[in-house]
Each structure stands twice: as structure tokens, then as C-alpha cells.
Amino acid sequence: MLKKAAIWMFALSLMLTAFSHAENVQASGDALETRATWLWNPWMFVKDEAATLAFLENKNVNKVYVQIDRDIPKNTYRSFVTQAHSRGIAVFALDGAPSWVAPKGFTNQNQLMNWLGNYQTGSVEQARFDGIHLDVEPYLYSGWNSNRAATVKSYQSLLQRAATSAAQLNLPLEADMPFWFDEITYKNTFGKGLLAEWVIANTDGVTLMAYRDSAQMIIEIVKNEIAMAERYGKHIVVGVETGTTDEGSVITFAEEGEVYMNQQLDKVASHYSSSSAYEGTAIHHVGSWMTMAP
């Protein structure tokens, strides 16, 4: 009897060890491809948290960039983050504006980092954010046209400050970036080169705004950044647009609908499946995705 019990306990031990190992392998080496989205309106989950989470879950989202609105109580964010985590969805704190590259504009970023530091300290692990996601878009600031060199340098300084703050918070730093930053050069105290390469090298991850409506075009416009990220051991998420725009129908999948969009994104994923830098896709954004044609 004792012998049988010992054998049973040994077998159980092996099973538990194997299960634990499988979990560790999945966590470290077989992570799911990222399917991300931007949630610019956090009042959506203030009004109806369950419906917001149900939408994300139904669309197989496993990473969401959530706008930080300091008018919303921290406990409301804690509830959403906790519930998202229980559904396997990572949550990154999202903020940024073109004015952040203006003189003294970095104070806005400081406010974000201070808020985030207080939030993380006051939250249990399950309610904490998984990272920081910046959307600054310096090319929309007036200085981009009047004094591009200074604006580019200000943007680099801003990201450098953000990286320092993120490290202090023990959080990864990500940034949105247009696909054409590989055509923008810089020569200043940060050195010289292509702005796209600098951003990739100085953040933990980039979501590339590859706003085109066919796999062929998307594959073409992200290839340089994918190659750069491979060299630096970094990751690229390929972002696409679902909202209507006056910039041309080629920018968005709004006309073609969701089924066609997913087919094109599958082709992009297949093309870059062997790339160590390709992390997945991001859909811009929750609001327009919700009302998108099938």
C-alpha cells in the first residue's frame, strides 16, 4: 500500500513538474502574437466596464493601450486593469500629444509619470499597468515645419526622459511611430542617423502606424523598421486604421470592412512569421472598430 502511494505521489510530482514547465515555456518562448488596440476614451469603461471588456475579449485582443485621464478615479482604472488581466489582456498606460515637444512641454509627460508612479505604488500587482505607451506625433506640432531639427531633438529628449522614468517604475516603454520616420534624419547631440532607428533603439517596443489597406502595401512600408528592430533585438507591432479619414481611402479599412482587414493582417503576419522583430498587429481604435462594417 505504501509502495503504491509512493508511486502515485511520484507520478503526481512528475505531472506537476511538467505542467509548471509547460507554463514557463509558454510564458517565455511561445507567447501569443500580439493583437492590440488603442482605447482613447476611458469613459467607455466608466460607463460600462463589462461591455468594454466583452468587446476586447470578443475581438481576441490581448493588449490594450488605455488613455490616462486624470479626472477618472484611480480605483476605476484599477478595476478595469484587474478585469482585463483576468481575461489575459495586458494593459499599457497611454498618453501623449504633439505639444509635448514644445518648450516646457515635457511637464505634461512628468505629470503622467507622477500619476503612474502613485498609481502603481497604491495598487496590488493584479491592478498595475504592464507598461507605458506614448503617442506624441511631433510632426503635428508647428515647430516640425518651422524648425524641424529642434523639434526632432526635443522629441528625442522627451523619449529619453520617458525611458528614465519608465526604468524607475520598472515598466517597459513603447511608442507609436509613423512608417515614414525612416526618411527623417537627425544630427545633434544624440548623434546622427535615421529617426526611426533612433526611436526603435531607445524604446522597448514600437507600434508602427502603417496605415494602408492592403497587405502588400503594409508589408512594403514596414520592412525597414522590421529590419532595424531585428538588429537591435526589439519588437514591432504593425498598426492599421479602421476609422473614416479625409486623407484618402487607401489609409483605412473602413470601406472594406473587418473580414477583409483580418485577411490582410493574416497575410502580413504570414510574411513576417520568421522575423524575430515582428510582434503582431494593432487596430486603431476601439471606438471606430466597434462601428466598423463586418
- Residue 13 in any domain: the answer is no
Query: pLDDT band for position 30 (50/70/90)?
Result: low
Q: Is the pLDDT of residue 17 over 70?
A: no
Residues pairing with 184 in the sheet: none
Q: 190 with 180: CB under 8 angstroms?
A: no
H-assigned helices in the chain: 2-28, 43-58, 74-86, 106-121, 143-146, 148-168, 195-201, 215-232, 258-271, 286-290
Question: CA angle 112-91-260, nearest 5°?
Answer: 120
Regarding beta strands 173-178 and 205-209, do their DSSP bridges make them parallel or antiparallel, or are they unpaired? parallel
pLDDT for position 15: 37
Q: What is the mean pLDDT of the chain?
A: 92
Three-class secondary structure assignment of 31-61: CCCEEEEEECCCHHHHHHHHHHHHHHHHCCC
In this prediction, residue 255 carries a pLDDT of 96
Q: Where residue 14 falls among pLDDT bands split at 50, 70, 90? A: very low
Whether residue 266 is predicted with pLDDT greater than 50 in this model: the reply is yes
Q: Is residue 164 part of a domain?
A: yes
Q: What is the CATH number of the domain that holds 206?
A: 3.20.20.80
159 in a structural domain: yes
Do the domain assignments include residue 11?
Answer: no
Give residue 24's pLDDT band: very low, low, confident or very high (50, 70, 90): very low
The proportion of the chain whose per-residue pLDDT surpasses 70, expressed as a percent, equals 89
H or E stretch including 235? Answer: strand 235-241
In this predicted structure, the answer to whether residue 221 has a pLDDT above a threshold of 50 is yes
Query: Percentage of the chain surpassing pLDDT 90?
Result: 89
105 and 146 in contact (C-beta within 8 Å)? no
Q: How far apart are CA 261 and CA 254, in angstroms?
A: 9
Domain hosting residue 88, numbered range: 34-290
pLDDT tens sequence across 159-190 = 999 999 999 999 999 999 999 999 999 999 99
Mean pLDDT of 30-38: 89
Number of domains in the chain: 1
| Angstrom distance (rounded) from CA 224 to CA 147 | 26
Asked if the structure places residue 24 within a domain, the reply is: no
The structure's pTM equals: 0.90
